[in-house]
Amino acid sequence: MLSGSTVNGNTLIEKIGSRSAIIGIIGLGYVGLPLAMQVVKSGYRTIGFDIEKNRINIINKIRENDYQNNGETFEGFIEKNIFEVTTDFLLLKDVDIVCICVPTPLDIYQQPDLSYVKESVTNIANNLHSGMLIILESTTYPGTTEEMVKSQLEYISGMKCGEEFFLAFSPERIDPGNKKYNVKNIPKIVGGIDDISTKITKIFYQSILESEVYTVSSPRVAEMTKIYENIFRNVNIALVNEMAILCHKMNINIWEVIEAAKTKPYGFMPFYPGPGIGGHCIPLDPFYLTWKAREYNYHTKFIELAGEINRYMPEYTVERIAKILSKKFKKSLNGAKILLIGVAYKKDIDDIRESPSLEIIKKLEEENSLISYYDPYIMSFTFKEREYTGLQKITAEEIRSQDMVVIATDHTAIDYDLIIQNAKVVFDTRNIIKEKKDNIEKL
């Protein structure tokens, strides 16, 4: 692997200009696949890498049928013959620019689990060649790129970062299911290990995106920017969840309060309460910083408090379900038939990771409620080693047979009128139902 020669980056910049650079995307999930598609569309030969053979098979199958992503149809993978997906990491030796988009979860001790990133970095290091650019896109704590990625690449390959290869961090900000903002039009942040790494990374993203590419002085700043954005969401959701709990006690409609507050043209940004937070990012990312802060003997109080409130929301939802059943029908949770609408963690997507619906189902089952669910995006799932299968569709008869319908996810493709007209009582945790009726309760 040792090349020993210093490269100035001009060759790679020329390759970007002529679209002759070969791009590798490691990890083909919610982040990596849309990015790979955008790179292909921009005219680059692209190689997608994943460790899951099954994921590769699924991608190969769906692309034959014009893969739909975020409302966009992607055609022409096969005709152009410029997109290949593989589990063979030896193909990295042909790649000029590689983006790492693998998971960054927490381990069982709620500490950062960088094992997926480390495995990807090892695969790259074993195939590193002179003039290659490596971009980490996975969300992580400040310092990962400089402290871990750089040193591992140098140690394994024997090559020198900044002299023989280039390295940058550029966080992914995609919001799956968002119809307005997608991989192409969300501004990109770039922080390279040095000026040349920043410059090449910026030129590369400018060649595939329509959005602004904003550069910062280091990977640490870019890493912190991404974490701060997600903490901002996490903390504000916790605040509005606390407001919702208090408003209910005070018999004030939180949704009306938010609509009114939204009229202020400055200094206020609406966030909405719900049955809890989910997904791979908002519940987990803040704890990457909490962990790192310990190294600096600092306790991140806001993050901990927000986590506490947000984690309580599924329990609060179940408490409210119990109170509604008791008030309306003098019934307890024990034996109550409850239909949950939506198990995805947010509307119009099929992602169940960390979904509050899972906690709600678990807690209701502990109380011996009889739970069924309907989610047009998730026909079945496994949770705590149990298989759950959803209803194929919801009918008036099915709804009438339930003691309560709980709207946990406000998917667009749900017939809410059918629910309102037939349910004994609906507990709407998302404010999707706008009409006021006696059988509708709100969070």
Ligand X SMILES: NC(=O)c1ccc[n+]([C@@H]2O[C@H](COP(=O)([O-])OP(=O)(O)OC[C@H]3O[C@@H](n4cnc5c(N)ncnc54)[C@H](O)[C@@H]3O)[C@@H](O)[C@H]2O)c1
Q: How far is the CB of 285 from ligand X (least distance, A)?
A: 6
CB closer to ligand X out of 90 and 252: 90
**Residue 139 or 290: which CB sits closer to ligand X?**
139
Residue (19 or 53) nearer to ligand X, CB: 53
Using N-to-C axis directions, what is the helix angle for 195-208 and 32-41, rounded to 10°? Answer: 70
Residue that is written with structure tokens 């595939």 in the block: 208
CA angle in degrees (0–180, nearest 5) for 369-443-437: 90
Residue number with CB closer to ligand X (375 or 428): 375
**Three-state SS at 86:** strand
The 3-class SS string of 98-135 reads: EEECCCCCECCCCCECCHHHHHHHHHHHCCCCCCCEEE
CB of 281: closest distance to ligand X in angstroms? Answer: 5
Which backbone phi and psi does 407 adopt, to 5 degrees? -90, 105
Binding site for ligand X (CB under 6 A): 26-32, 49-52, 55, 101-104, 116, 119-120, 138-139, 172-174, 176, 279-281
Q: Which is nearer to ligand X, 29 or 143 (CB)?
A: 29
How many Å apart are CA 177 and CA 69, to the nearest integer? 9
- Please report the sign of the dihedral spanned by the C-alpha atoms of residue 391, residue 396, residue 400, residue 404: positive
The residue at minimum Cβ distance from ligand X is: 29
The helix-helix angle for 285-295 and 301-329 (nearest 10°) equals: 140
281 catalytic residue (yes or no): yes
- 378/344 Cα distance (integer angstroms): 7
Kindly state the smallest distance separating residue 44's Cβ from ligand X, in Å: 19
Comparison of 208 and 244: residue with beta carbon closer to ligand X: 208
CB of 32 to ligand X, least distance (A): 6
Cα-based angle 30, 347, 427 (whole degrees, multiple of 5): 145
Nearer to ligand X, 26 or 161 (CB): 26
- The answer for residues whose C-beta is within 8 angstroms of residue 331's C-beta and 6 or more apart is 325, 403
User: Residue 275 CB: number of other CB atoms within 10 A?
Assistant: 29
116 versus 316: smaller Cβ distance to ligand X: 116
Note whether 341 and 373 are within 8 A (CB).
yes
Give the nearest distance from C-beta 178 to ligand X in angstroms.
Answer: 10
Residue keyed to tokens 């292909």: 40
Q: Which residues contact 437 (CB under 8 A, 6 or more apart)?
A: 420
Cβ-based neighbours of 145, under 8 Å, separated by 6 or more? 136, 167, 168, 169, 191, 193, 219, 220, 223
Residue 388 beta carbon to ligand X: minimum distance, rounded to whole angstroms:
20
CB of 174 to ligand X, least distance (A): 5
Residue 175 Cβ, how far from ligand X at the closest point, in Å? 6
Helices (H), 380-415: 396-400
Of 416, 228, 222, nearest to 213 (Cα)?
Answer: 222
Selected catalytic residue, list 101, 161, 247, 281? 281
Active site residues: 281
